[in-house]
Structure 1
Amino acid sequence: MDADRIVTEKLREHSKLTGEDIAEIRHFSFALRELADQEDLIRQGDEPDRSVVVISGWVARYHLLSGGQRQYLSFHMPGDWPDAQAIFLDRMDHAVCAIGPAVVASVAHKELTRAIGRRPTLGFAIWRETLIDASIFREAITNNSARSKPARMAHMFCELFYRARALGHVRDDQLQLPVSLVQLGEALGMAIATVNRTLVELRASRAVDFRSGMLTVHDWTRLCAIGEFDPGYLHLKKQPR
């Protein structure tokens, strides 16, 4: 799929775009880049001059801690725009890396800001993308601090599955999710032994399973109940099928 079409479909999830907005996106000068597993796209402290959309594979945002550990902040699939907020910031306060091989398409900030000046409705859509990111981060804070460990993991599975359905990545109630158990624990604030115990508990509920990078949802309603998941914070215009 072309990068301009991916960006258009992503922004249309939550914003109305005019024909002129879509034409503007089609004129973006995207540059493709292949990433190896764990290769950094952006490092903490960088002053980026480009933003990217994920074409294939997955990427993750993370904070690098003083001891070298990582706190994963969010995971991003094909169609996501993981660093749209970089257009408005001078220095990155987090890093973005590939989890597994990935391909991204980037466009210069100067080109984006000129387009925003010409097409304010496109600018509003890009700004809304960054606001939805902030909403997801707020939900993650609540998830990691106020929910039980099974609810915490179930909620993350619900969010990723729901977003993936909106972008057309779910097949037969399954999602390829190339996140290791270590990375899952680093995202949820759990030790690896706790991750394994929590997975066993969720499997016993018969709502969900996660093995070898494959997330399988057996009972969506039950999984949402366990995870206390309400997708309103994702601000999608319509519920994914």
Structure 2
Amino acid sequence: MEANRTVITKLKEHSQLSNDDVAEIKTLSFAPRELVDHEDLIRQGDEPDRSVVVLSGWVARYHLLPSGARQYLSFHMPGDWPDAQAIFLDRMDHAVCAIGPAVVASIAHKELIRAISRRPALGFAIWRETLIDASIFREAVTNNSARSKPARMAHLFCELFYRARALGHVRDDQLPLPVSLVQLGEALGMAIATVNRTLVELRASRAVDFRSGTLTVHDWTRLCAIGEFDPGYLHLKKQPR
């Protein structure tokens, strides 16, 4: 039932669900799966027949380049549904891997589609989830191509922190974030030396710090200003506290 509750909480962030919609989600059969660090959950080119929600740990979407290098596209925390769009696709154009140990729960597309046919509002909520993913990707394109390096990194920190607050993962202005500096650079299009210099600059602003797998926000308003962050593209129904 943990996975069912996770899906209900996630979809309620942005969509209205009736009591009957919630009851339908509670009938879905999710199967847990444990992942080790860097284990692929989905590989580029797969023809998926299941979708997953994250129960613990973190996962990341990435493109695998011909050279073997990775371009990380997004990071996903407990409560996220990182491959909802797989329901509507025949072949995956990206991969999803664990970042550190993680536990996910999967459900067959056939079962989801039957549930959607019974409760169309559930289908609209899942569709909206995929549209929000697309909005995040559009923002990432702008972030990596049009902002300065400090603004680029600050914006990503803002996005992850804001989403984490909505899901209840922030404590005392701290977010456990098991992303390595190499992965951070691969997400932001920065060499590792540039990542280190940019982190030093952000620490000097006294707005944020990131070290030893923990993101600490000291001044949210200042961090948003540095990152030019406006959470509207996340389309949450209400701003997390």
- CA distance in structure 1 between the partners assigned to 2:53 and 2:22 by the alignment: 16
Q: CA deviation at 1:240?
A: 0.2
- What secondary structure sits across from 2:100 in the alignment? coil
Give the match's secondary structure for 1:171. coil
- Aligned residue in 1 for 2:86: 86
For residues 41 and 84 of structure 2, the distance between their equivalents in structure 1, rounded to whole angstroms, comes to 14
Residues 138-186 of structure 1: CA deviation (Å, up to 9, x unaligned)? 0000000000000000000000000000000000000000000000000
- The residue that corresponds to 1:63 in the other structure is 63
2: CA distance, partners of 1:177 / 1:21:
33
What is the alpha-carbon distance in structure 2 between the residues aligned to residue 138 and residue 21 of structure 1? 30
Q: Does 1:163 align with 2:173?
A: no
Local SS of the residue matching 2:80: coil
Cα RMSD for the two superposed structures: 0.5
2:229 is aligned with 1:234: no
How big is the shift at 1:67? Answer: 0.4
Which residue of 1 is the match for residue 100 of structure 2? 100
Deviation at residue 6 of structure 1 after TM alignment: 0.4
Q: Secondary structure of the equivalent of 1:98?
A: strand
Cα deviation for residue 43 of structure 1 reads: 0.2
Amino acid across the alignment from 1:86: A
Q: CA deviation at 1:134?
A: 0.1
In structure 2, the partner of 1:225 is: 225
SS at 1:78's partner residue? coil
Secondary structure in structure 2 of the residue aligned to 1:184: helix
Gaps of 5+ in 2: none
Alignment: residue pair count? 241
Aligned to 1:139: 139
Report how far residue 197 of structure 1 moved: 0.1
1:6-38, Cα deviation, whole Å (9 max, x unpaired): 000000000000011111111111000000000
Cα distance in 2, alignment partners of residues 189 and 61 from structure 1: 15
Alignment match, 2:128: 128
Q: Which amino acid aligns with 1:205?
A: S
Give the Å deviation of 1:128.
0.1
Q: Distance in 2 between matches of 1:212 and 1:135?
A: 30
Please tell me whether residue 115 in structure 1 is matched to residue 120 in structure 2. Answer: no
Task: Indicate the SS of the match to 1:105.
Answer: strand
- Scaled by the length of structure 1, the TM-score of the pair is 1.00
SS in 2 for 1:102: strand
Aligned to 1:204: 204
Whichever residue aligns with residue 184 of structure 1, its letter is L
Deviations 1:55-84 (A, max 9, x none): 000000000000000000000000000000
Structure 1 residue runs without a partner (length 5+): none
1:24 aligns with 2:56: no
Match of 2:215 in 1: 215
One-letter code aligned to 2:119: R
Shift of residue 198 of structure 1? 0.1
Q: CA deviation at 1:208?
A: 0.1
What are the superposed Cα offsets for residues 193-232 of structure 1, whole Å, 9 maximum, x if unpaired? Answer: 0000000000000000000100000000000000000000
Q: Matched residues in 2 for 1:2 and 1:18: separation?
A: 19
Flag as ranges the 4+ runs of structure 1 deviating above 2 A.
none
TM-aligned CA deviation for residue 132 of structure 1? 0.1
